[in-house]
Structure 1
């Protein structure tokens, strides 16, 4: 793996261990972070702190790990404007492909070198170097992204043109939400029949009715904790998936109904698009 200079934005729950892995792999990291405790930890680990988001642009690769489209459009346009035409932006945000098109307009003549790189996995997966990352973009840009993302991912799936990785991730999360709703309904049925939740989850883990949803519920300590953790993310991603389907003229109503109906309160599409602020996250 080549040693590169990497700019990083979004050192939150997932982003902070990403930075740690990048440093451990020998990359030079220029980091923008607002929270003093994050700045202190990652500076001690070897990151070079900068004072403004645009200051990370003077790197070979910029990695962004922001929460959603609103944050991306609030933070990244100034970064893209400051990037050299050869700098590759790797966006880990799960959101709408059109957001990347809007960023592209801020790049140099011919557009910006942007790779959509949504991921599947947890902070523990990052720390173990076992994250799954989907990569969409021009072949040479994806090749550059691999040199960086490989510090914390052991599975990097090239999905095609820019925006394709986001579509893959949104469909993945649509199916995950649907299967989660079914699994939670199954746990409710188990309780009604006098079956302990922990016993049913243990059985599902090694049986044909099991799934990734069951494993995540177990890892989170049960249905209640799982629901609190995943609901904001899945609601956001289902909103995005619905928008992408509408834009493409594709009917996903049956899948969306399955994903929204159940113990997880994913409800109707959100109208406010409210997200946590960049400052709160970073």
Structure 2
């Protein structure tokens, strides 16, 4: 893919290693980040830093966004110095952020109005997976957008799964997956509290379950984090976890789907925020479980 130009906007814990992987795969990459220092950290890898989102894109080109929330995505796309008009006819916007399905549908319509394409492509995996190119990617949008995005997504992950034409569909999948991950974190937290209060080593529990009846990446990786209470530095901040859980509950309410477990997880996150833990990893909801059990 040498010479193929891509713009990458949003260089946080996930975006920076993803942009670096595009560079190492031979793409020419322009970058923008609200905090310019994060963008300049990629200059040594060959990235070109731009001052605004619009400056970073070329007409008819490809832009990838990996941003914290709906407001940031809309600002970069539709705001002053946003990418929509500059990208224009023939442009492709690949949105890899975890946002509302309705936001993706809105942006897909906006890009269509100017003759552009929009693909929703959120990812599963923490920063270490982003660096290792082992992300799982779910996508939804038009066939033309998927075909054009394919070499980029192939350079970022280990597999791409398609969920149809609706731009919001992949966001629903992503929110469903994050709900399942946080539910697993809560279940592990409660099980570890039960074991610890009965004199069983947390790491021994994590190792046993991760090697036997729950031998999968979520239980293994999160089990290790929870056993060690390794909540700093955060791979995924608790404050962002709350944003995602709000999106889960909003999407469920819109579709008239009761999710009582999501309500419990929301309460765990809210308790953690009240304790000032928003910058810890979202696995730190375990601390509330431990406190309930008088283990802290």
> Is TM > 0.5 for Structure 1 vs Structure 2?
yes
The equivalent residue for 1:280 is none
The within-5 A match list for 1:143-162 is 143-161=147-165, 162=167
Contact persistence 1:86–1:113 (CA under 8 A):
yes
1:52 and 2:73 matched: no
Q: 2:55, 2:115 → 1: CA distance? A: 20
Q: Please give the TM-score of this superposition, normalised by the length of structure 1.
A: 0.85
Q: 1:179, 1:195 → 2: CA distance? A: 20
Q: Please give the TM-score of this superposition, normalised by the length of structure 2.
A: 0.81
Query: Which of 166, 172, 175 in structure 2 is aligned with 1:170?
Result: 175
The equivalent residue for 2:287 is none
Q: 2:264, 2:214 → 1: CA distance? A: 18
The within-5 A match list for 1:1-282 is 3-58=3-58, 60-77=61-78, 78-107=82-111, 109=113, 112-161=116-165, 162-209=167-214, 211-220=216-225, 222=227, 224-226=229-231, 229=236, 231-249=238-256, 251-260=257-266, 265-267=268-270
Name the Cα RMSD after superposition. Answer: 2.6
1:189, distance to aligned residue in structure 2 (A): 0.3
Contact persistence 1:85–1:112 (CA under 8 A):
yes
1:209, distance to aligned residue in structure 2 (A): 4.2
Q: 1:112, 1:242 → 2: CA distance? A: 31
Q: 1:238, 1:146 → 2: CA distance? A: 29
Contact persistence 1:96–1:244 (CA under 8 A):
yes
Q: Deviations over 1:249-277 (max 9, x none)?
A: 3x13234235446xxx2249x9xxxx99x
Q: Which has the higher contact order (CA 8 A, sep 6+)?
A: 1
Q: 1:254, 1:34 → 2: CA distance? A: 37
